[in-house]
């Protein structure tokens, strides 16, 4: 399959999956109500630092991982941002199919919870506007359909990692018996951003820390706690039917 055809197919896949994500989430908190990441943790590493040296080393690690067909395919799938990707990619780790129709309460807490956690990235992305590795090295990513938009969006912290890690934390709370499997998939989801070439390692590391803070904030919302209660009850009911 030639490169142009591959790019076209990926673009079609992105459009098809994003079309399933049209429902507007009902946020628990706004970006301004979230903990301020610019204040509570350091920004991206300086280009002369040891941390940035590690970023560069991990970029080359990610390029090497692209030679693994299974990992490259997974990283490409994870690059398609949205709930459709999350419910598909986390299904095995969670141990149950997730859908708006069959698991509406789980779907709702995932949709609203991940979208709310994402708000913690709004301010630092705008403040730092860090250039992404594919821009610095002037090399293509595994998912070229996203590159034009990514060039206009700051790299620090990683929004995809926030999505994957918040989804993992939500699903772990619903099904704690599968915590290890769910967290492993959530960690790999963020790591795949390095494989794709869209983020530095420090972007993903920072995103996990910030997402954990955002997740703690979620638990101060009575509406979230009530929705999580419904999601857990739904899971237990469906689990008993299997």
Catalytic site residue from 108, 130, 188, 199 = 199
Question: Is residue 193 annotated as a catalytic residue, yes or no?
Answer: yes
The region of weakest confidence among 21-25, 62-66, 70-74 is 21-25
Long-range contacts from 178-181, C-beta under 8 angstroms, 24+ separation: 178/93, 178/94, 178/95, 181/92, 181/93, 181/94, 181/95
Q: What is the mean pLDDT of the chain?
A: 93
Predicted confidence at residue 4, as pLDDT, reads 46
Mean pLDDT of 97-115: 97
141 and 197 Cβ atoms separated by less than 8 Å: yes
Closest CA to 224 of 122, 118, 110, 119: 110
* Whole-angstrom distance, CA of residue 211 vs CA of residue 232: 21
Catalytic site residue from 118, 193, 205, 208 = 193
CATH architecture entry for 28-240: Up-down Bundle (1.20)
Classify the C-alpha dihedral 131-133-135-136 as positive or negative: positive
Mean pLDDT of 238-242: 81
Predicted confidence at residue 230, as pLDDT, reads 98
Predicted confidence at residue 240, as pLDDT, reads 83
Question: Is residue 46 annotated as a catalytic residue, yes or no?
Answer: no
Question: Is residue 67 annotated as a catalytic residue, yes or no?
Answer: no
Q: What angle do CA 197, 153, 140 make, to 5 degrees?
A: 30
Catalytic site residue from 55, 112, 118, 203 = 203
Q: Please indicate, yes or no, whether the overall pTM of this predicted structure exceeds 0.85.
A: yes
* Whole-angstrom distance, CA of residue 178 vs CA of residue 130: 35
Catalytic site residue from 160, 178, 185, 188 = 160
Q: Where are the domains of the chain?
A: 28-240
Mean pLDDT of 70-74: 98
pLDDT by residue (tens digit) across 11-53?
444 444 444 456 899 999 999 999 999 999 999 999 999 999 9
Question: Is residue 21 annotated as a catalytic residue, yes or no?
Answer: no
Query: Could you tell me how far CA 105 lies from the centroid of its own chain?
Result: 20
* Whole-angstrom distance, CA of residue 92 vs CA of residue 161: 19
């Amino acid at each position: 399959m030639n490169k142009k055809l591959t790019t076209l197919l990926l673009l079609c896949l992105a459009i098809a999956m994003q079309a399933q994500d049209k429902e507007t989430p009902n946020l628990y908190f706004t970006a301004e109500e979230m903990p301020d990441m610019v204040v509570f943790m350091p920004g991206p590493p300086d280009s002369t630092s040891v941390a940035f040296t590690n970023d560069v080393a991990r970029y080359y690690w990610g390029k090497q991982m692209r030679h693994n067909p299974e990992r490259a395919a997974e990283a490409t799938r994870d690059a398609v941002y949205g709930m459709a990707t999350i419910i598909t990619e986390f299904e095995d780790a969670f141990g149950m199919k997730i859908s708006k129709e069959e698991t509406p309460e789980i779907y709702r807490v995932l949709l609203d919870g991940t979208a709310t956690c994402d708000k913690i990235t709004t301010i630092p992305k705008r403040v730092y506007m860090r250039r992404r590795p594919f821009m610095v090295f002037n090399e293509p990513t595994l998912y070229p359909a996203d590159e034009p938009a990514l060039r206009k969006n700051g790299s620090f912290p990683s929004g995809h990692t926030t999505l994957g890690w918040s989804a993992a934390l939500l699903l772990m709370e619903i099904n704690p018996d599968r915590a290890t499997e769910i967290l492993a998939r959530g960690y790999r989801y963020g790591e795949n951003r390095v494989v794709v070439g869209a983020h530095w390692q420090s972007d993903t590391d920072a995103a996990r820390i910030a997402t954990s803070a955002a997740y703690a904030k979620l638990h101060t919302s009575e509406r979230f706690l009530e929705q999580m209660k419904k999601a857990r009850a739904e899971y237990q009911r469906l689990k008993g039917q299997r």
